[in-house]
Structure 1
Amino acid sequence: MVPAELYKTVPPAFGHDVLALFGFNPNYVNLNHGSYGSLALPVRAFCDELTDEVESNPDKFVRIDCIHYWNRVRERVAKLIGAETDECVIVNNTSHGLATVLRNFIFKEGDILVGATTTYGSMHQMLKYIADIPPYPVLSTFNLQFPTSRAKIIQDFEEHIKKLTETGDATGERKIVALIDSIAGHPGAFLPWREMVAICRKAGVISVIDGAHSIGQEVDLNLSEIRPDFWVSNCHKWLFSKRGSAILYVPKRNQHFIKSPIPSPVTYHSPHDSDYQGPQDFVRLFEWTGTIDYVPQLSIGAAMDFREWLGGEHKINAYTHALAIAGGKRLAERLGTNVMDPDGEFTLNIVNVEIPLSGDVESTDEVLRIFTHTLILQWQTFAPPFRHNKKWWVRCSAQIWNEISDFDVLANALKDACSKVEEHVAQRNN
Structure 2
Amino acid sequence: MGTHHRDDCAENGGDDNGHLAKRLRPASCPISAAEIAEEFAHHDPSVARINNGSFGSCPASVLAAQLRWQRLFLRQPDEFYFHRLQPALLHSRILVKELINAADLDEVSLVDNATTAAAIVLQHASWAFSEGGFRKGDAVVMLHYAYGAVKKSIHAYVARAGGHIIEVPLPFPVSSNEEIVLEFRKALELGKANGRRVRLAVIDHVTSMPSVVIPVKELTRICREEGVDQVFVDAAHAIGSVEVDVQDIGADFYTSNLHKWFFCPPSVAFLYTKKCSASSRLHHPVVSHEYGNGLPLESAWIGTRDYSAQLVVPSVMDFIGRFEGGIEGIRKRNHEKVVEMGKMLADAWGTFLGSPPEMCCSMIMVGLPGCLGILSEKDALKVRSLLRKEFKVEVPIHYQLPKDGEVVEKDGSSTVTGYVRISHQVYNMEGDYHKLRDAVHKLVNDGFNCTMFPS
Query: Do both proteins adopt the same fold according to a TM-score greater than 0.5, normalized to the shorter chain?
Result: yes
Q: Secondary structure at the match of 1:140?
A: strand
Tell me, yes or no, if structure 1 residue 94 matches structure 2 residue 114. yes
Partner of 1:252: 275
Following TM superposition, by how much is the alpha carbon of 1:256 offset from its aligned partner in structure 2, in angstroms? 3.9
Tell me, yes or no, if structure 1 residue 374 matches structure 2 residue 374. no
Q: Distance in 2 between matches of 1:245 and 1:78?
A: 15
**Measured at CA, do residues 422 and 3 of structure 1 come closer, stay the same or move farther in structure 2, by a change above 3 Å?**
farther
For each residue in 1:150-175, what CA deviation from the matched residue of structure 2 results, as whole angstroms up to 9, or x when unmatched?
A: 01211221232133236435xxxx45
Q: Distance in 1 between matches of 2:48 and 2:277?
A: 43
Tell me, yes or no, if structure 1 residue 323 matches structure 2 residue 337. yes
Amino acid corresponding to residue 372 of structure 1 in structure 2: R
Q: Secondary structure at the match of 2:359?
A: coil
Following TM superposition, by how much is the alpha carbon of 1:368 offset from its aligned partner in structure 2, in angstroms? 4.2
1:359·1:387 contact (CA, 8 Å) conserved in 2? Answer: no
Following TM superposition, by how much is the alpha carbon of 1:297 offset from its aligned partner in structure 2, in angstroms? 1.4
**Measured at CA, do residues 381 and 284 of structure 1 come closer, stay the same or move farther in structure 2, by a change above 3 Å?**
same
1:334·1:408 contact (CA, 8 Å) conserved in 2? Answer: no
Instruction: Single out whichever of 254-263 and 306-315 deviates more from structure 2.
Output: 254-263
Q: Distance in 1 between matches of 2:277 and 2:316?
A: 29
Partner of 1:117: 144
Of 217, 239, 247, the residue aligned with 2:241 is 217
Of 402, 407, 418, the residue aligned with 1:392 is 418
Following TM superposition, by how much is the alpha carbon of 1:44 offset from its aligned partner in structure 2, in angstroms? 0.7
Q: Percent identical across equivalent pairs?
A: 25
Tell me, yes or no, if structure 1 residue 405 matches structure 2 residue 431. yes
Amino acid corresponding to residue 395 of structure 1 in structure 2: R
Amino acid corresponding to residue 333 of structure 1 in structure 2: D
Q: Distance in 2 between matches of 1:373 and 1:303?
A: 32
Of 187, 192, 198, the residue aligned with 2:215 is 192
Tell me, yes or no, if structure 1 residue 35 matches structure 2 residue 54. yes
Q: How does 1:100-139 map to 2 (within 5 A)?
A: 100-105=120-125, 106-107=128-129, 108-133=135-160, 135-139=161-165
Q: Distance in 2 between matches of 1:68 and 1:420?
A: 60
Amino acid corresponding to residue 335 of structure 1 in structure 2: W
Q: Distance in 2 between matches of 1:138 and 1:63?
A: 45
Partner of 1:276: none
Amino acid corresponding to residue 285 of structure 1 in structure 2: E
Of 197, 208, 213, the residue aligned with 2:232 is 208
Q: Distance in 2 between matches of 1:394 and 1:370?
A: 13
Partner of 2:168: 142
Partner of 1:362: 375
Following TM superposition, by how much is the alpha carbon of 1:4 offset from its aligned partner in structure 2, in angstroms? 4.6
| Structure 2 unaligned residues grouped into runs of 5+ | 1-14, 16-20, 130-134, 403-416
Following TM superposition, by how much is the alpha carbon of 1:61 offset from its aligned partner in structure 2, in angstroms? 1.1
Amino acid corresponding to residue 258 of structure 2 in structure 1: C
Following TM superposition, by how much is the alpha carbon of 1:302 offset from its aligned partner in structure 2, in angstroms? 1.5
Partner of 2:18: none
Of 300, 305, 311, the residue aligned with 1:298 is 311
Partner of 1:68: 87
What's the RMSD between the two structures over aligned residues? 2.5
For each residue in 1:283-306, what CA deviation from the matched residue of structure 2 results, as whole angstroms up to 9, or x when unmatched?
A: 222221222210111122221221
Partner of 1:164: 191
**Measured at CA, do residues 339 and 293 of structure 1 come closer, stay the same or move farther in structure 2, by a change above 3 Å?**
same
**Measured at CA, do residues 155 and 254 of structure 1 come closer, stay the same or move farther in structure 2, by a change above 3 Å?**
farther
Amino acid corresponding to residue 327 of structure 1 in structure 2: M
| Structure 1 unaligned residues grouped into runs of 5+ | 270-279
For each residue in 1:47-98, what CA deviation from the matched residue of structure 2 results, as whole angstroms up to 9, or x when unmatched?
A: 1111111111111112321000100000011101010221001000001111
Partner of 1:152: 179
Q: Distance in 2 between matches of 1:137 and 1:237?
A: 31
Instruction: Single out whichever of 396-405 and 34-43 deviates more from structure 2.
Output: 396-405
Q: Secondary structure at the match of 2:357?
A: coil
Partner of 1:242: 265
Q: Distance in 1 between matches of 2:376 and 2:425?
A: 27
Following TM superposition, by how much is the alpha carbon of 1:257 offset from its aligned partner in structure 2, in angstroms? 5.5
Q: Secondary structure at the match of 1:252?
A: coil
Tell me, yes or no, if structure 1 residue 182 matches structure 2 residue 205. yes
Q: Distance in 1 between matches of 2:96 and 2:424?
A: 23
**Measured at CA, do residues 420 and 7 of structure 1 come closer, stay the same or move farther in structure 2, by a change above 3 Å?**
farther
1:374·1:416 contact (CA, 8 Å) conserved in 2? Answer: no
Question: TM-score, structure 1 length as denominator?
Answer: 0.88
Q: Distance in 1 between matches of 2:27 and 2:173?
A: 46
Question: TM-score, structure 2 length as denominator?
Answer: 0.84
Count of matched residue positions in the alignment of Structure 1 and Structure 2: 410
For each residue in 1:164-188, what CA deviation from the matched residue of structure 2 results, as whole angstroms up to 9, or x when unmatched?
A: 236435xxxx452111100000111
**Measured at CA, do residues 24 and 427 of structure 1 come closer, stay the same or move farther in structure 2, by a change above 3 Å?**
closer
For each residue in 1:385-429, what CA deviation from the matched residue of structure 2 results, as whole angstroms up to 9, or x when unmatched?
A: 111243210000111122333211111223456789944514668
Instruction: Single out whichever of 249-258 and 418-427 deviates more from structure 2.
Output: 418-427
Amino acid corresponding to residue 183 of structure 2 in structure 1: D
Q: Distance in 2 between matches of 1:359 and 1:254?
A: 53
Structure 1 segments, 4+ long, off by >6 Å, are 418-421
**Measured at CA, do residues 337 and 52 of structure 1 come closer, stay the same or move farther in structure 2, by a change above 3 Å?**
same
**Measured at CA, do residues 287 and 255 of structure 1 come closer, stay the same or move farther in structure 2, by a change above 3 Å?**
farther
2:58·2:264 contact (CA, 8 Å) conserved in 1? Answer: yes
**Measured at CA, do residues 281 and 130 of structure 1 come closer, stay the same or move farther in structure 2, by a change above 3 Å?**
closer
2:166·2:187 contact (CA, 8 Å) conserved in 1? Answer: no
